[in-house]
Amino acid sequence: MPHRHNLTTLRDMLRRREISSTELTHHFLERIDRHSDLNAFITVDEEGALAAAQQADKHLARDEHAPLTGVPLAHKDIFCTQGLLTSCGSKMLRNFISPYDATVVERLAKAGSVLVGKTNMDEFAMGSSNETSHFGPVHNPWDLQRVPGGSSGGSAAAVASRLVPGATGTDTGGSIRQPAAFCGLTGLKPSYGRVSRYGMIAFASSLDQGGPLALSAEDAALLLQCMAGFDSRDSTSIARDTADIDEGLKINLHGLRLGLPAEFFDESIDNAVLTRVREALGIFERLGATLVDVALPNSAAGIPCYYVIAPAEASSNLSRFDGVRFGHRSDQASDLLTLYENSRAEGFGEEVKRRILIGTYALSAGYYDAYYLKAQKIRRVIAQDFSKAFEQCDIIVGPTAPTTAFSLGEKTQDPVAMYLNDIFTNTVNLAGLPGLSIPAGLDEAGLPVGLQLIGQFMDEGRLLGAAHRFQQATDWHQLVPKGF
């Protein structure tokens, strides 16, 4: 069964011609159709995928190997894809066909991958449970009555259920790492500027970053190498060699210092999560790592800081969706003003409207200094806390989320409770650092627990290397949800 193999193994099987890309793509397309009850996909491009697979087979027959030749992948529906629907999980863009490819899409295609479809997501990436999508919630393959996490829940559910061996996601405050934790995957949020944001529909421009969701750190490293790199079309893109990513997988953990912030190990964490995390730390110690205590004293300010900055940037970014140039256009308008009002009222969901209102308020005259400017100052202090902690350690470690996956509908009526799911992840985005979630076991209900590793700026190689060594010593990343 090809779907039981990880991405790196499938790449090698294709190169050895043990299976063709056409056979592999057919296999995954059939699985996507069979498990449509997960609602993991918004768009499935069967015709385009098979055409790309046939082309890949021609290259393979000539021993022409790009890094991902013939490997099926899926993209979160926030990345523009030429000729395909790019909806951002919203009614506002339910009919938007992009005229161009995002840089991430372009680079993974150049690496030889086969695009099978676009995955479901929280509307405009605003959510922690994948319940705000206009196309309905995504179901967690470990328990169909639970959420897969958000906003990259469709990508996470698709990879966890082996509908694809890898997928892209985006992370603004934890939207790759939290779904990875809930679905038992390896999910990487790269350093800000490592992966181009060109063609990635913006939520909060100073926080958004694209990254991979995969079964293992080895797979994530392969995907990141293909995605990363300088892009002149993105003014925030940083020119940095990607050789360190592959080299990082070879590191030895002897002498590696893992920092444990007291703020990440408090009474807010579920006991089962805390137990699995401590067991994982014990494994790292046996592999040669050293545990040291560090402090992140201002981490509690991360949630209020994030939920001022992110909505403020969202209110600005989403102002372009006015019903005139593209997107949903109301047919209940008698003049230009009501066209704007009705198109936005009809096109946006409740969570998006809530964040636009919060952000507009924070940026308004008389409140800018009190809220937005103060939040930016706190953001700098949070970044300084990380810098001081890294003087004592190489990687900071803790839980990815305070609980395992919660039930569908459990937190939809309590936005604050929903926002608190990102308490351990959003400070990483505020500081622009890389963060990685890896599987660290199961709780009593058989649900995955995520372990988060936070690295220094542009130090993805060491993060992935530490995770790779951990996964060589454990098999949590190889577990498959029952029925898949």
Q: What is the pLDDT of residue 24?
A: 98
With respect to residue 152, please indicate whether it lies within any of the assigned structural domains.
yes
Residues 51-57: what's their mean pLDDT? Answer: 98
Determine which one of 90, 133, 151, 216 is catalytic: 151
Give a three-class secondary structure readout of 237-306.
CCCCCCHHHHHHCCCCCCCCEEEEEHHHCCCCCCHHHHHHHHHHHHHHHHCCCEEEEECCCCHHHHHHHH
User: Could you tell me the two tokens for 72?
Assistant: 């099926």
Q: Which residue has the tokens 């890294």?
A: 390
Q: Which string of DSSP letters, residue by residue, matches 14-33?
A: HHTTSS-HHHHHHHHHHHHH
Q: What is the pLDDT of residue 244?
A: 78
With respect to residue 445, please indicate whether it lies within any of the assigned structural domains.
no
Determine which one of 21, 113, 175, 315 is catalytic: 175
Q: What is the pLDDT of residue 72?
A: 98
Residue 243's pLDDT band (cuts 50, 70, 90): confident
Residues 362-384: what's their mean pLDDT? Answer: 95
Q: What is the pLDDT of residue 267?
A: 83
Residue 418 carries which side chain, given as an amino acid letter? M
Q: What is the pLDDT of residue 341?
A: 94
Q: What is the pLDDT of residue 241?
A: 82
Task: Tell me which of 110-119, 157-166, 332-341, 429-438 is least confident.
Answer: 332-341
Query: Does the annotation mark 118 as catalytic?
Result: no
With respect to residue 364, please indicate whether it lies within any of the assigned structural domains.
no
Residue 400 carries which side chain, given as an amino acid letter? T
Determine which one of 76, 91, 118, 411 is catalytic: 76
Q: Decide if pLDDT at 147 tops 90.
A: yes
With respect to residue 330, please indicate whether it lies within any of the assigned structural domains.
no
Question: How confident is the model over 155-190, as pLDDT tens digits?
Answer: 999 999 999 999 999 999 999 999 999 999 999 999
Q: What is the pLDDT of residue 236?
A: 95
What count of other Cβ atoms lies within 10 Å of the Cβ of residue 383?
16
Residue 247's pLDDT band (cuts 50, 70, 90): confident
CATH code assigned at 37:
3.90.1300.10
Q: Which domain holds residue 190?
A: 2-256+461-478
With respect to residue 202, please indicate whether it lies within any of the assigned structural domains.
yes
With respect to residue 38, please indicate whether it lies within any of the assigned structural domains.
yes
Q: Decide if pLDDT at 415 tops 90.
A: no
Residues 96-122: what's their mean pLDDT? Answer: 98
Residue 428's pLDDT band (cuts 50, 70, 90): very high
Residues 357-371: what's their mean pLDDT? Answer: 93
Q: What is the pLDDT of residue 19?
A: 97
SS3 118: strand
Q: What is the pLDDT of residue 326?
A: 85
Q: Decide if pLDDT at 42 tops 90.
A: yes
Question: How confident is the model over 270-306, as pLDDT tens digits?
Answer: 999 999 999 999 999 999 999 999 999 999 999 999 9
Nearest to 462 by CA among 398, 388, 393, 383: 393
Q: Decide if pLDDT at 420 tops 90.
A: no
Between the alpha carbon of residue 348 and those of residues 130, 208, 403, the distances in Å are: 15, 20, 29
Residues 391-413: what's their mean pLDDT? Answer: 96
Domain total for the chain? 1
Between the alpha carbon of residue 366 and those of residues 312, 372, 374, the distances in Å are: 15, 11, 13
Query: Does the annotation mark 334 as catalytic?
Result: no
| Beta-strand pair 395-399/186-189 | unpaired
Beta strands in 24-144 (DSSP E): 41-44, 72-76, 114-119
With respect to residue 335, please indicate whether it lies within any of the assigned structural domains.
no
Query: Which ranges of 319-459 does DSSP label H, i.e. alpha helix?
Result: 336-347, 350-363, 374-389, 415-419, 426-431
With respect to residue 300, please indicate whether it lies within any of the assigned structural domains.
no
Q: What percent of the chain has pLDDT over 90?
A: 93
Q: Which helix (H) or strand (E) holds 441?
A: strand 435-442
The mean pLDDT value of the chain amounts to 96
Residues 207-224: what's their mean pLDDT? Answer: 98
Query: Does the annotation mark 175 as catalytic?
Result: yes
φ/ψ of 118, rounded to 5, equals -115, 135
Between the alpha carbon of residue 32 and those of residues 10, 38, 153, 273, the distances in Å are: 18, 9, 15, 31
Q: What is the pLDDT of residue 417?
A: 86
Residue 318's pLDDT band (cuts 50, 70, 90): very high
Nearest to 464 by CA among 224, 171, 255: 224
